[in-house]
Amino acid sequence: MAISNQIDKEKLPRHVAIIMDGNGRWAKRQGKNRVFGHRQGAKSVKEIVRAAGEMEIDYLTLYAFSTENWSRPKLEVDALMSLLVSSINSETKELMENNVRLLSIGNHDILPKNVKKKLYEAIDQTKNNKGLTLVLALSYSAKWEIIEAVKKIAQLAVNQEIKIDEIDECIIDKNLSTHNIPHPELMIRTSGEFRISNFLLWQLAYAELYFTNKLWPEFGKEDFFEALLDYQNRERRFGKTSEQVEHKI
């Protein structure tokens, strides 16, 4: 039976987050430069966005560029930025056709002006779409995001808009860049690395983690469905016992 038919549509995660890793290694294996790998990686993005839409997943967050990635060679950073602009140019039409709403999280103040402009134009153009919400984590780091939230909450306390004792999970959630977005139930990382690399540290607190050796440029629809199927076979206990989960007590 085709893998997509084995998936129970009633038991899908609402939000899947992906660390798209391995473009450089993939390119090296082909005897090509790293930028070639990133271009191929953009094709995987297209395929996985389609696959998530097909499965009627509500939110897909893709880690496209981390704060730490700014320290890569300038040539690679520049190439990634122009790839981003050209992808937005070529893909916005398909996002509209497929009813995809684009959002982005991260420190956008340090993005090149033209990138920021393009990004916000696409976000604005797709803002009323009601299908999949595609969140690009761009110039993003979870520690940066948490620091920003702490600053905002401290300001609320200084302004006496909240009391220190009122600070709870809900207030922290509201002050993260992912406010209004449910936490991911499933996080996928490609390329055989077993780490989080400063991605959604707060939001992944109870996510199921799925690691695959496939490099991002070779990660396709079937691999995505495989991860969803694996997720469905896990028991999410949230601290309870297996018996409690089984009997819903």
Tokens 């393009």 identify what position?
118
Name the residue with the smallest CB distance to ligand IPE.
24
Token pair recorded at residue 3: 């893998």
Which partner in Mg ion, ligand IPE, none is near 138 (CB below 5 to 8 A by kind)?
none
Catalytic residue among 21, 23, 175, 223: 21
Is residue 212 at the binding interface for ligand IPE, with CB under 6 A as the rule?
A: no
**CB-nearer residue toward ligand IPE: 36 or 59:** 36
What is the CA angle 99-102-107, rounded to 5?
175
- The interface region with ligand IPE, picked from 44-52, 108-116, 128-136, 187-195 by CB under 6 A, is 187-195
Quick one: which H or E segment has residue 235?
Answer: none
Spatial contact of 102 and 110, defined as CB atoms under 8 Å apart = no
* Shortest Cβ 184–ligand IPE spacing (Å): 15
Amino acid sitting at position 150: V
159 burial via Cβ count (<10 Å: 0-12, 13-18, 19+): exposed
Q: What does the radius of gyration of the chain's CA atoms come to, in whole angstroms?
A: 19
- Scan residues 113-172 and list those touching ligand IPE (CB under 6 A): none
230 catalytically annotated: no
- Cα 188 to Cα 26, 30, 86, 90, 223: the distances in Å are 18, 24, 26, 26, 10
∠ CA 237-241-245 to the nearest 5 degrees?
Answer: 60
In angstroms, the first-to-last Cα distance of the chain is 35
Residue span binding ligand IPE (CB under 6 A) among the ranges 21-29, 119-127, 156-164, 218-226: 21-29
Residue with smallest beta-carbon separation from Mg ion = 21
Q: Is 21 among the residues that bind ligand IPE (CB under 6 A)?
A: yes
The correct pick among 19, 49, 102, 119 for binding ligand IPE (CB under 6 A) is 19
Beta partners for residue 140, in sequence order: 66
Is residue 8 part of the annotated active site? The answer reads: no
Choose one: 19-27, 86-94, 171-179, 203-211; the region binding ligand IPE (CB under 6 A). Answer: 19-27
| Alpha carbon distance 33, 91 (integer Å) | 24
Indicate whether 111 belongs to the interface with ligand IPE (CB under 6 A). no
Binding to ligand IPE by residue 64, rule CB under 6 A? yes
Query: Binding of ligand IPE at residue 184 (CB under 6 A)?
Result: no
Choice between 141 and 175, CB closer to ligand IPE: 141
Residues with catalytic annotation?
A: 21, 69
- Kindly list the residues in this chain that would bind ligand IPE in the complex (CB under 6 A): 19-25, 63-66, 68-69, 80, 191, 193, 195, 197, 216
